[in-house]
């Protein structure tokens, strides 16, 4: 018997996979990964003492320890284990990637499928070279369908993640301007995301394609099975926008389907979930129930009414495309609109142009008040908008700000931590 089969037998006795020796269930498989500061190998013995049933480690001095599999590289062993598990699964697996909207789409897919099936979906944002194998290993024998989110910030990453998740259905949410630096420009992003199509082409899998996105249509040519959705009557599943305020609703087969998501850019996320639900035989009622049941509570496009104002909490993350979508959405609200925007990272040479573009867009869309926070926005040329150099400075500034009756968008890259403004703007924790 080879090593992966040995480890797989151990995995089957466990109920979870863990890297943190402080967070173990009674039957964990502990994987000793190397972080930037710590080496999991140092915690193997403690993990086995405090709950782990087995451990995978790559420190040769642990050789011979009871219940420890010593391998050349623990991360590779984890990925091989996930591949082995994936090959045993016979349920449909949907794999999705894209620049923006992966987690939102994934949650909508889960919510729709859950109305009929025991559906698995990636936990949180666990979408990288560690998260994808863990997600695959979380698919249990009683799951009937699974959705795996795959993220990437450089070439060949999606190709690699597909070798682990081996999706039967693939979907790209969109090609946007995210991780420009790592991908090497716009063409690089399109190429990198399209690796999921290449996988589908080579392995005879099915692609879900947004017919309104010319790039998706172009790049998916040659895939043997394609399911299309979108506003065109040429789509297999025709879905049109009904309203965007306060939440997005869409029309499908003469029914209005209401979501709890704010922002017109969520249209394609919702439409994709409807198309997939319909493809898997769900009724319109089930689909509608699934879409309505998903309320974002994760700081992504979350609309919160406070006593004094309406806040669009989108401080989870930002890049030029999602920022443009969010500002355009804000512009659609009535009354005084306020954009509190923080720096966008990972843009390389495109940094100044992108920040200038967003500041100018706010002016073009006649947003009443704009606050630009951070070093990059600090370099923008504008005599109209207020600049604040750091999140700390913004926190101080907004302490004396009156949000009265305004609609306020808060958005920035993750590390700006602009959610620190929420309590100051009147959102209760
Ligand atoms: P990550 O790369 O962090 O995993 P993600 O692709 O999973 O991100 P989400 O977390 O679903 O994306 O959404 C992040 C933000 O992207 C949202 O808050 C929203 O501002 C924006 N967004 C969501 N869907 C779209 C879309 N279809 N087009 C453009 N922007 C979108
Ligand atoms: Mg995500």
- Looking at the domain assignment, is residue 418 inside a domain? yes
Percent of the chain with pLDDT over 70: 99
Buried b or exposed e, range 14-41, using 16+ CB within 10 angstroms: bebbbbebeebeeebbbbbbeeeeeebb
Tokens for 10, please give them: 């151990």
Q: Would you say the CB of residue 314 lies under 6 angstroms from ligand 1?
A: yes
C-beta pairs of 185-192 under 8 Å, 24+ apart in sequence:
188/155, 189/99, 190/215, 190/219, 191/155, 192/152, 192/154, 192/155, 192/156, 192/157, 192/158
In the predicted model, is pLDDT for residue 180 greater than 90? Answer: no
Most informative mutation of 317, 323, 328, 415 for ligand 1 (most atoms within 8 A of CB): 317
Mean per-residue pLDDT of the chain: 94
Last residue of a domain, one of 44, 73, 102: 73
Task: For residues 115 and 238, state if they share a domain.
Answer: yes
- Looking at the domain assignment, is residue 188 inside a domain? yes
- Looking at the domain assignment, is residue 346 inside a domain? yes
Scanning the structure block, which residue is given the tokens 């010319």? 214
- Looking at the domain assignment, is residue 82 inside a domain? no
Q: Would you say the CB of residue 259 lies under 6 angstroms from ligand 1?
A: no
> Whose C-alpha lies nearest to ligand 1, atom 17?
300
Residue 303 Cα to ligand 1 middle (Å): 15
Task: Give residue 298's pLDDT.
Answer: 65
* Mean pLDDT of all residues in 145-164: 96
Task: For residues 141 and 35, state if they share a domain.
Answer: no
Task: For residues 365 and 227, state if they share a domain.
Answer: no
Interface TM-score (ipTM) > 0.95: yes
Confidence of residue 25 (pLDDT cuts 50, 70, 90): confident
Rg over alpha carbons for the chain, rounded to the nearest Å, is: 23
User: Which residues, at least 6 apart from 81, have a Cβ–Cβ distance to it below 8 Å?
Assistant: 4, 7, 8, 11, 56, 133, 137
Q: Read off the CATH number of the domain in which 229 is found.
A: 3.40.1190.10
In the predicted model, is pLDDT for residue 1 greater than 70? Answer: no
Distance (Å, rounded) from C-alpha 418 to C-alpha 413?
8
Task: For residues 105 and 28, state if they share a domain.
Answer: no
Task: For residues 186 and 96, state if they share a domain.
Answer: yes
Q: Would you say the CB of residue 103 lies under 6 angstroms from ligand 1?
A: yes
- Looking at the domain assignment, is residue 372 inside a domain? yes
Residue 321 Cα to ligand 1 middle (Å): 9
Q: With residue 314 as reference, give the H or E element that holds it.
A: strand 310-314
- pLDDT single digits (tens) 90-100: 999 999 999 99
Last residue of a domain, one of 265, 293, 321: 293
Distance (Å, rounded) from C-alpha 164 to C-alpha 136?
8
Task: For residues 36 and 101, state if they share a domain.
Answer: no
Task: Give residue 122's pLDDT.
Answer: 97
Distance (Å, rounded) from C-alpha 96 to C-alpha 171?
5
Q: Which one has a higher pLDDT value, 113 or 334? A: 113
Percent of the chain with pLDDT over 90: 83
Q: Would you say the CB of residue 100 lies under 6 angstroms from ligand 1?
A: yes
Task: For residues 282 and 307, state if they share a domain.
Answer: no
Q: Can you tell me which atom of ligand 1 is nearest the CA of 300?
A: 18
Last residue of a domain, one of 259, 293, 327: 293
| Residue ranges of the binding site for ATP | 98-104
Tokens for 21, please give them: 């020796």
* Mean pLDDT of all residues in 305-316: 91
- Looking at the domain assignment, is residue 368 inside a domain? yes
Task: For residues 38 and 129, state if they share a domain.
Answer: no
Distance (Å, rounded) from C-alpha 43 to C-alpha 38?
9
Tokens for 177, please give them: 């301007």
Residue 107 Cα to ligand 2 middle (Å): 10
User: Which residues, at least 6 apart from 244, have a Cβ–Cβ distance to it below 8 Å?
Assistant: 262, 263, 264, 267, 329, 332
- pLDDT single digits (tens) 214-262: 999 999 999 999 999 999 999 999 999 999 988 999 999 999 999 999 8
User: Which residues, at least 6 apart from 148, have a Cβ–Cβ distance to it below 8 Å?
Assistant: 93, 94, 95, 96, 121, 122, 132, 135, 136, 165, 167
* Mean pLDDT of all residues in 14-34: 89
Task: For residues 67 and 106, state if they share a domain.
Answer: no
Q: Would you say the CB of residue 345 lies under 6 angstroms from ligand 1?
A: no
Task: For residues 40 and 159, state if they share a domain.
Answer: no
Q: Read off the CATH number of the domain in which 362 is found.
A: 3.90.190.20
Query: Is the previous residue joined to 421 through a cis bond, with omega within 30 degrees of 0?
Result: no
Residue 294 Cα to ligand 2 middle (Å): 15
Task: For residues 52 and 130, state if they share a domain.
Answer: no
Confidence of residue 213 (pLDDT cuts 50, 70, 90): very high
Task: For residues 131 and 273, state if they share a domain.
Answer: yes
* Mean pLDDT of all residues in 54-77: 94
Q: Read off the CATH number of the domain in which 36 is found.
A: 3.40.1390.10
Tell me the residue range of the domain where 60 lies: 4-73
- Looking at the domain assignment, is residue 84 inside a domain? no
- Looking at the domain assignment, is residue 283 inside a domain? yes
Q: How many domains does the chain have?
A: 3
């Amino acid at each position: 018997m080879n090593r992966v089969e040995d480890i797989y037998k151990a995995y089957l006795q466990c109920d979870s996979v863990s890297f943190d020796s402080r967070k173990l269930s009674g039957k964990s498989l502990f994987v000793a990964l190397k972080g930037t500061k710590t080496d999991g190998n140092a915690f193997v013995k403690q993990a086995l003492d405090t709950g782990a049933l087995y451990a995978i480690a790559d420190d040769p001095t642990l050789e011979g320890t009871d219940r420890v599999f010593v391998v050349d590289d623990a991360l590779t062993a984890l990925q091989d284990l996930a591949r082995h598990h994936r090959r045993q699964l016979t349920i449909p697996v949907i794999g999705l990637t894209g620049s923006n909207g992966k987690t939102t789409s994934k949650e909508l897919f889960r919510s729709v499928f859950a109305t009929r099936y025991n559906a698995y979906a990636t936990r949180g944002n666990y979408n990288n070279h560690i998260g994808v194998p863990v997600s695959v290993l979380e698919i249990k024998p009683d799951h009937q369908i699974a959705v795996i989110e795959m993220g990437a910030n450089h070439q060949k990453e999606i190709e690699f993640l597909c070798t682990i998740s081996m999706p039967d259905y693939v979907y790209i949410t969109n090609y946007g301007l995210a991780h420009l630096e790592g991908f090497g420009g716009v063409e690089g992003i399109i190429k990198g995301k399209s690796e999921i199509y290449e996988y589908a082409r080579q392995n005879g899998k099915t692609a879900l394609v947004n017919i309104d996105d010319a790039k998706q249509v172009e790049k998916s040519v040659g895939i043997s099975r394609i399911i299309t959705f979108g506003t065109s009557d040429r789509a297999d599943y025709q879905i049109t926008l009904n309203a965007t305020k306060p939440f997005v609703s869409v029309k499908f087969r003469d029914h209005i389907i209401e979501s709890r998501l704010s922002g017109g850019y969520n249209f394609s996320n919702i439409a994709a979930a409807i198309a997939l639900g319909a493809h898997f035989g769900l009724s319109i009622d089930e689909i509608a129930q699934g879409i309505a049941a998903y309320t974002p509570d994760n700081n992504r496009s979350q609309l919160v009414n406070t006593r004094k104002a309406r806040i669009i909490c989108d401080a989870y993350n930002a890049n030029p495309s999602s920022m443009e979508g969010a500002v355009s959405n804000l512009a659609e609200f009535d009354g005084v609109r306020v954009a509190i925007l923080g720096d966008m990272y990972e843009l390389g040479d495109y940094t100044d142009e992108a920040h200038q573009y967003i500041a100018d867009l706010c002016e073009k869309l006649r947003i009443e008040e704009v606050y630009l926070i951070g070093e990059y926005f600090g370099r923008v040329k504008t005599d109209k908008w207020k600049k604040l150099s750091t999140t700390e400075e913004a926190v101080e500034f907004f302490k004396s700000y009156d949000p009265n009756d305004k609609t306020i968008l808060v958005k920035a890259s993750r590390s700006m931590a602009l959610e620190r403004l929420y309590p100051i703007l009147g959102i209760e924790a």
